[in-house]
Structure formats: C-alpha cells, structure tokens
Amino acid sequence: MGAKAADELTVGDEVEVEIGPVAHGGHCVARYAGRVLFVRHSLPGERVRARITEGGSGDRFLRADAVAVLDASEHRVPSRCPAAGPGGCGGCDFQHVGTGHQRELKARVVTEQLKRLAGIDREVRVEALDDEDGLRYRTRVEFAVDGATVGLRRHRSHTVEAVPGCPIAVPEIDAGLAEVRADVAGDPGALEGISAIDVVVPTGEEDTVVVEVPGDAPTPPIPMTEVVDAPLGRIPMAVDARGFWQVHRDAPRVFVEAVLAAARVEPGERVLDLYSGVGLFSVPLAAAAGEQGQLIAVESDRRATDHLRENLDDRPWALVVPGRVDDLFGVPRKGPKGAKGGRNGRGRTRGRPTRSDLLPPSADVIVLDPPRSGAGRGVVEALVSLRPRRMVYVACDPAALARDTAYLAERGYALTGLRALDAFPMTHHVECIAVFEPARGSVPSP
C-alpha cells in the first residue's frame, strides 16, 4: 500500500518527516507534502516517524508525536521522566532536550514572536534560575483524580496518567503524592467527589499542604505563608493554598529583584501594580515609593485581594483597588462569539464600563503582570494615557507580550529592556520582564 496523500492523513497515520524550527507551544514545525504538522517530542534538524494525534482532511494543520527518531539531534538526551513522551504525561514538553538547549529554543521563540508580531529584531537570552539541571524546582503541583487514579493528564486529554512521581517537583511533592495514594489504597472510595489533589510546599510553613479539590463546590480558604528573599529583606506573604504563586522555588526572589531593578522607583513616586495577586511586587514597590509616595494595587480575585490587603497592612500609603483592570479603566470587554448588536450571550446589552474614581489621572511607574492573554489594546491605551515614565511588563506568554509591545509602540512607548527567565524548565513556558519607556525621551500625549 502506497503512502497516503497529505490531504488524506488522519489520526493514527504515521509519516516520515524532517523537523523544522521550534514553534511557540512546545512543538516543532514539519511539512509532509506541503501539509503543516506540529510535532511534539522532536527537535529541529531531526528526521522522525510522526504519528498523527489530532486533525484530518480540511484542517489547516495536524498535530503529531514523534514516535521514532530516525536521525537524532546532538541536543537530544534520555528523558529524565519515565512518564514523559508520546502517549504519556503532558506536563513537560522538553524532557528529551538538554537543559541548556531548552533555553536556546525558548529564546528563539521569544525572538520570533517579537519579530513577527511587533516588528522588533532583538537578541534574546533565557537565563537559568537556581535549579538542579531543570529538576526538583516546582513547589506546587495539581494532580488530577479519576476514580481511584491520581496522576497527571496526558497532553490535550482528560485521561489521567498514574505517574510514579514528578522529577521537576521538590521531593516533598512526591512524598505528599505517596501519602495520598496510600490512603486511597486503604479506602478506594476516599476520593469520591474529588476532581484534583493540590500538593503545596510553602516556604513559610513546616508542613506540606495537601488540598482535596471538590468537583462540584468551591474549595474553602486555606491561608498559608510564603517567604520572599527580597533586596529589602525577607518578606512573609499571606497566600491561599490554591491561589496564584510562582511555582519555581527561586522565582519569587528573582522576579522581585528583576522588577525592582527595572522599575527604578524613586521615593515619593506614584506606582501602579496591576494584576497584582497577593502583592509579590506590591509590597517591595510600596517600600521603594516610601511614605511620601503612593502604591495602588489592582486585583480581581477576591481571596487574593484579601491577602493583598493583609500583606500591605503596615503600609498606609498603599491602596488596594479590587476589580478587573479593564473594567476599572473603563475598557469595554469583547462580547461572546456570535453575539450581535452589542448584546451578550443572554441577550442583554453590555454598556461601556465607567472608569473608577479610585484610579489616578497619572502615574510615574506602572508594573503589570497580566494573564496569558495579555493586557490588550484597550488596557494599553488606558495605561499610556497616564503618561508613566516607565512601564514594567511581566509576561508569561511571548506572543501576548509581542502583541502588546506593538500596541505600545503605536502609542509612543519603546521596548528598552528585556530579560527572559527559565522559570519552567522542561516545559515550553518562559517568563519575560520587559521595560517600556517613551520613545526619544518624550512622554507621549494621551
């Protein structure tokens, strides 16, 4: 039987392909008779046998796994995790790649996104954090639960892989997982109604925290303490066990140092910290602004906001403003797909929100750490209207950063600094801290 035509390929088919460049998302690009394949578990320059995992006739591209390596890259190494690879745990993208080369691949992705979406040519270097060759760094892991099976989900799947442990997690995580499994072995129905198990190793607590996440109800608050070694001293911070916190054990320290160095806040200045969470940046930024200055922190999550107030309690010049950044700045949200005539999915017209009176008319420095989707054009325009002398943008997605970089350039703010940090070794994720300043030293008009 001859080889299938490219437009006939479907799930389960296997083809031999040459692997091209790395792409954003943990895969590399290949072509089969002109058809685009996004191939996981591969490396640029390799020749592999790829098995189609998603897509078929009519789709713009196909997803595939490299199930056999015919010509290997010099950067390929034996996987550090027995559960990684085709059909296994989907948590790691680069277990088969040398750690140093992982950072080179991530740098290529950031470079390519800035060039493609923002028209910026910039050399990027991804910096390592304090981890042991990309292993044993993660202090928080959410394990999925399926009946009596506890593990991690396969890539783009609901299937739970019963992993023996997690090599990128600190040892206490594996110990917590083992205890959960021992309990289940003694009582197979122990996890009935539970959708996930969070295992957390906080730096400010003696014990590992294990949280059972109900499938049909909110998890009750579980306050705990993280400790950050900041330039201004050790900072204890209240946070919920299921709240957002950087998972790399060294990331809070490195990020705070990087943001403070980038922001260059002077005493007496007004600083905005947007999407602030529990205040990882708010607390040291408030200290830098001092009693003659002002810190305004904006956060939408209710539990995070409660902890944010607690963490800023001894700094009366800091103001916490609860709410979504776009809503508070009066930026209209996009309606659901398919909605027409300015109405939302339930038929009600969504009016333009009113700008909050709690937000100032100007700011000296703005720090923002938006979600993976980025800030967006509307928020960027609102921030530019405050005419800050400097903006520091913490980005977990290089494509979103590049899009917002283009919006900022349109409004007269240039990218003047960029650091890329490898806060998630063995995965495709990379954190960037970007600095924007008025182009040619002049503050643009709003």
Closest to 264 (Cα-Cα) out of 405, 416, 428: 416
Q: Which two tokens stand for residue 127?
A: 């910096």
Strand (E) positions, 33-89?
Answer: 35-40, 47-54, 61-71
- Is residue 152 within 8 Å of residue 445, measured between CB atoms? no
Please state the φ and ψ torsions of residue 329, each to the nearest 5 degrees: -90, 0
Please report the sign of the dihedral spanned by the C-alpha atoms of residue 240, residue 241, residue 242, residue 244: positive
Cα separation, 33 vs 5, in Å, equals 8
Strand (E) positions, 231-339?
Answer: 233-240, 270-274, 294-299, 318-322
Q: Bridge-partner residues for 322, per DSSP?
A: 299
SS3 232: coil
Q: Describe the strand order of the beta sheet including 270-274 as a list of residue ranges.
A: 126-128, 413-422, 431-438, 390-395, 365-368, 270-274, 294-299, 318-322
Cα separation, 365 vs 358, in Å, equals 17
- Number of neighbouring beta carbons within 10 Å of residue 185: 10
What torsion, rounded to 10 degrees, do the Cα atoms 78, 84, 85, 86 define?
Answer: 170
Q: Looking at 28, 81, 89, 396, which residue is catalytic?
A: 396
Cα separation, 189 vs 196, in Å, equals 14
Is residue 81 flagged as an active site residue? no
- Is residue 45 within 8 Å of residue 72, measured between CB atoms? no
Q: Hey, which residues are catalytic here?
A: 396
